[in-house]
Amino acid sequence: MGIIRVNDIRLFTNHGCLDEEGKIGSEYRVDVEVKADLRKSAQTDALIDTVDYVHLNKIVKEEMAIRSKLLEHVAQRILDRIFREIQLVDEAEVSVAKINPPIGGNVAEVVIVLSDTRKK
């Protein structure tokens, strides 16, 4: 089993329960980790035999562009697409951080983390 991580994907989008969050938006950080059998790609040196991290980044960017009230919701959509579109992935973890959340205090970020395994 191998691990591929795409860390610190930075985006500006408009998730949140408050109307103001939908209008003015916020900064977000997303980290993705997937586990897959990478033995074949380690031998063949072929992109087709591995998990393309460009594809992972594309999924994150597209799903983060769709407004959700809850970070859990967007993280689950990211997980669902990873398993649907990238058959090599056996396990995945997604963390979504809202930078400087509007929660009435000096808070650097709030982070949710979801993980799942492929249903056989």
> Which residues are catalytically annotated?
98
DSSP 30-65: EEEEEEE--HHHHHH--GGGS--HHHHHHHHHHHHT
Q: What is the DSSP letter of 21?
A: H
52: left (phi over 0), alpha (psi -120 to 50) or beta: beta
Separation between Cα atoms, residue 8 and residue 97, nearest integer Å: 10
